[in-house]
Amino acid sequence: MKKSVKKILLSILALVAVLLLVVIGYLTYLLVDYKRVSDNVSLEVKEGSGKTVEQNQEYSILTYNIGFCAYLPDFGFFMDGGTESRAKSKESVLDTLNSINELIGGLNPDFIMLEEVDEKATRSYKVNQREYFENKFLSYDSVFAVNYDSSYLFYPFFEPHGASKAGMLTLSRYNIERSTAIRKSLPVENSLMKFFDLDRCYSKAYVPVGENGEKKLVLFTAHLSAYTSDGSIANEQIRLLTLDMQAEYDKGNYVICGSDFNKDLLGNSEEIFGKSGEGQTWAQPFPLEYLNGKDLTLVNSYDKEQSPYPSCRNADGPYTENQFVLTVDGFLASSNVSVVSCKVIGGDFAYSDHNPVLLKFSLNA
> pLDDT tens across 116-151, in order?
999 999 999 999 999 999 999 999 999 999 998 887
Q: What percent of the chain has pLDDT over 90?
A: 65
Task: Determine which of 53-62, 72-81, 297-306, 337-346 has the lowest per-residue pLDDT on average.
Answer: 297-306
Task: Determine which of 20-24, 54-58, 205-209, 253-257 has the lowest per-residue pLDDT on average.
Answer: 20-24
Indicate whether 30 pLDDT > 70. Answer: no
State the average pLDDT over residues 180-200.
79
Indicate whether 344 pLDDT > 90. Answer: yes
pLDDT of residue 323: 93
Task: Determine which of 93-97, 190-194, 280-284 has the lowest per-residue pLDDT on average.
Answer: 190-194
Distance CA 146, CA 130 (A): 11
**Cβ distance 325 to 347 under 8 Å?**
no
Distance CA 53, CA 60 (A): 12
Could you tell me the pLDDT band of residue 233, with boundaries at 50, 70 and 90? Answer: confident
Distance CA 199, CA 186 (A): 8
Nearest to 262 by CA among 294, 233, 296: 233
Per DSSP, what are the bridge partners of residue 326? 312
pLDDT of residue 250: 98
pLDDT of residue 15: 79
Q: How far is residue 326 from each of residues 146, 267, 280, 291, 363, measured CA to CA in Å?
A: 26, 9, 11, 21, 29
Instruction: Calculate the average pLDDT of the chain.
Output: 89
- What b/e readout covers 277-291, taking b as 16+ CB neighbours within 10 angstroms? beebebbeebeeebb
Beta strands across the sheet bearing 215-223: 41-42, 182-185, 201-209, 215-223, 254-260, 329-334, 296-298
Q: How far is residue 154 from each of residues 71, 167, 242, 267, measured CA to CA in Å?
A: 20, 21, 36, 36
State the average pLDDT over residues 195-200.
70
pLDDT of residue 234: 87
Distance CA 235, CA 230 (A): 10
pLDDT of residue 229: 58
Distance CA 110, CA 267 (A): 29
Could you tell me the pLDDT band of residue 27, with boundaries at 50, 70 and 90? Answer: low
Task: Determine which of 105-109, 225-229, 247-251 has the lowest per-residue pLDDT on average.
Answer: 225-229
State the average pLDDT over residues 196-224.
91
Contacts from 119-122 at CB under 8 Å and sequence distance 24+? 119/144, 119/146, 119/165, 119/166, 119/167, 120/164, 120/165, 121/68, 121/162, 121/163, 121/164, 121/165, 121/166, 122/86, 122/152, 122/160, 122/161, 122/162, 122/163, 122/164
Could you tell me the pLDDT band of residue 228, with boundaries at 50, 70 and 90? Answer: low
pLDDT of residue 2: 63
Indicate whether 253 pLDDT > 60. Answer: yes
- Chain-centroid distance of CA 51 in Å reads 27
pLDDT of residue 47: 87
pLDDT of residue 33: 58
Could you tell me the pLDDT band of residue 155, with boundaries at 50, 70 and 90? Answer: confident
Distance CA 189, CA 200 (A): 10
Instruction: For 70-102, write each residue's pLDDT tens digit.
Output: 999 999 998 888 899 999 999 999 999 999 999
Nearest to 75 by CA among 324, 355, 316: 316
Distance CA 359, CA 110 (A): 10
State the average pLDDT over residues 228-234.
73
pLDDT of residue 193: 62
DSSP string, 131-193: HHHHHHTTTSEEEEEEEEE---B--STTS--B-EEEEEEEEESSPPPTTT-EEEE-----SGG
